[in-house]
Amino acid sequence: MKSVRAVLDYLQSGGVSHIFGIPAGSVNAFFDELYDLPAITPVVTKHEGAASYMAASYAKYSQSLSVCIASSGPGGTNLITGAANAMREHLPILFLTGSVPVDTVGLNASQELDASPLFAPVTKYSKRVDSAEELLTEIDRAVTIALSGVPGPVHIAMPIDVQLTNIEPPQLPDFPARTPLLPDDQLIEQTVNKLSTISKGYIFAGQGIRGCTEDVIELAELLDWPIVCTPQAKGLMREDHPLFKGVFGFAGHESASELVNEADTQAVLIVGSSLGETATNNYNTNINKDKFTVQIDLDPTVFNRKYPVDLAIHGDAGVSVSGLTAGLKQAGLKPHQYSKTAPATLSPSAEFNTQNVLRSLQDMLPKSTRYTIDIGEFMSYVIHHMNVLWEDSFDINVHFGAMGSGIGSAIGAKLAEPERPTVSITGDGCFFMHGMELLTAKEYQIPVLFIVMNNARLGMVHHGHALQYKRVHERFGQEAVDVAAMAQALGIPNKRVEQLDELKQETLEELLQTDGPAILEIALVDDNVPPMGDRVKFLSSFGK
């Protein structure tokens, strides 16, 4: 058998059912073998970058390894942004790239590129395999690394001749499964003893609480401590719990900012946050100033990186939080009782602005909708104004901030959880980067509603320059394009909205009931300053 067939047999044994990417000469041997493996669907995209975002979202919501493939040379370099994004989000993705035949390395072969060192800084493991007998072994090693410890992306470059070389059918290695990182029991006990003596504290929750939200809430109820979350964690926790004080960080809430900056708290428990710039409002020192600080994370490199930590618990958030809860109960703490609070209602204003559009849309869309949020000024409105009505309902990539990622993310999320209504909120700038993935969704009959906020400009850049430099270059705007008409030309159901009263329930229901993607274009120029929270003060302070 060809060595590349052994790789595919191995991936199939691990339950891999989708492979995202684009076929090309240097990976055609890989795609040729898929004819005989109907259990694996190749999702052929329009751009390799979009394939990487689909793979990332699929890994996140399927909670399994994702696979993404591209050609040598430009196909591989187009994947690097997605690898960097996956590294920031701790997502296990096997990135495969083709490579020129071993005996032509260094001879300026077509699309020759030594991709391995390029992927090295943005993956956990990157290697070119020059021997057919070693290909499966290296793939297994890479997958094991991707799924172990702190999950993350890995990369293997496969020369064309290595893929095509016949080998003896190997015994497939056991496909690895991730095992939880268990915290140190003595450290848990030490933390319990300390927390049980502190009456005033708060919980700072990041995206690492995915999958253990209820555990975090139970711990907060035991301690009677309020909770704030980071922008990246928006949607992981419902907002109807009275202990939840909102989002802190980029586009956050005043209630969360008041808690961090003004409340008389003695301690902070940081769970699943790397405490980056957007999560901390430009590294606000008040997060743990004069507070006993406990940090829980599966990545030990985040401890004491910017914020001094008194107790660092290295382990999975769910296991660690459950350990603290059990210990506090044994110490005699009993959970407080709380009544759920109703989320804020839609503003009565009839103004056609971003806030009212998004809140109106959420009122009309199913409560269980998952929203994948692209990068643009609309993102700050989503973080600040849209309610969390269902757990794990927002996918916000403010961490790495790749424009266009929300389009591919929606497709990957829908493939991972087909029954979940999925809506991508994107902008015209993002759409012009990756909007042709609508055709991918159409060809695979993936029903995603793409809402395009079309203001004919780079909105975040516009407002950022206006605040920071007090002027905006005319070229940050662009000639208005009718996105709905583009969708019509592509044979995709669509609707263009130019005023608020054109948003109707029946229109959304019609767009949601298609057997593929649909476009809702919101043609709106909103000159209000986006609700970026303390970021506005930060930008406005320049030059003063």
Give the end-to-end CA distance of the chain in Å, rounded to a whole number: 69
pLDDT at site 460: 64
In the numeric block, which tokens belong to residue 118?
């390029």
Residue 298 and residue 315 in contact, taking contact as beta carbons nearer than 8 Å: yes
Count the helices and strands in the chain (H runs, E runs): 20, 18
pLDDT at site 346: 54
CA-CA distance, 17 to 5, in Å (whole number)? 15
As beta bridge partners, residue 74 has none
Task: State which H helix or E strand residue 227 sits in.
Answer: strand 227-229
If you search the block for the tokens 């003595």, which residue do you land on?
186
In the numeric block, which tokens belong to residue 234?
């928006």
CA-CA distance, 14 to 30, in Å (whole number)? 17
Residue 137 and residue 8 in contact, taking contact as beta carbons nearer than 8 Å: no
pLDDT at site 341: 77
DSSP string, 128-170: E---HHHHHHHHHHHHHHHHSSS---EEEEEEHHHHH-B-PPP
CA-CA distance, 230 to 275, in Å (whole number)? 9
Query: What residue type is assigned to position 210 of the chain?
Result: R
pLDDT at site 450: 98
Strands (E), 286-411: 292-297, 311-314, 370-373, 394-396
As beta bridge partners, residue 394 has 371
CATH architecture of the domain covering 185-330 = 3-Layer(aba) Sandwich (3.40)
CA-CA distance, 498 to 108, in Å (whole number)? 53
For the chain, give percent helix, strand, coil, nearest 5: 40, 15, 40
CA-CA distance, 468 to 460, in Å (whole number)? 12
CA-CA distance, 128 to 95, in Å (whole number)? 12
Positions of the chain with pLDDT under 50: none
CA-CA distance, 130 to 342, in Å (whole number)? 60
Strands (E), 253-346: 267-271, 292-297, 311-314
CA-CA distance, 333 to 113, in Å (whole number)? 60
CA-CA distance, 483 to 432, in Å (whole number)? 10
Domain residue limits, the chain: 3-164, 185-330, 354-540
Do 185-330 and 354-540 agree at the fold level?
yes
Residue 203 and residue 269 in contact, taking contact as beta carbons nearer than 8 Å: yes
CA-CA distance, 481 to 479, in Å (whole number)? 6
In the numeric block, which tokens belong to residue 252?
């956050």
pLDDT at site 541: 53
What is the domain class of 3-164 according to CATH?
A: alpha beta
Query: Under 8 Å CB-to-CB from 38, ≥6 apart: which residues?
Result: none
pLDDT at site 232: 95
pLDDT at site 465: 64
As beta bridge partners, residue 32 has none
Q: Residue 2 carries which DSSP code? A: B
**CATH number of the domain at 354-540, please?**
3.40.50.970
Query: What residue type is assigned to position 183 of the chain?
Result: P
Determine if residue 108 is left, alpha or beta; phi over 0 gives left, psi from -120 to 50 gives alpha, anything else beta: left
pLDDT, tens digit, for every residue of 205-259?
999 999 999 999 999 999 999 999 999 999 998 888 999 999 999 999 999 999 9
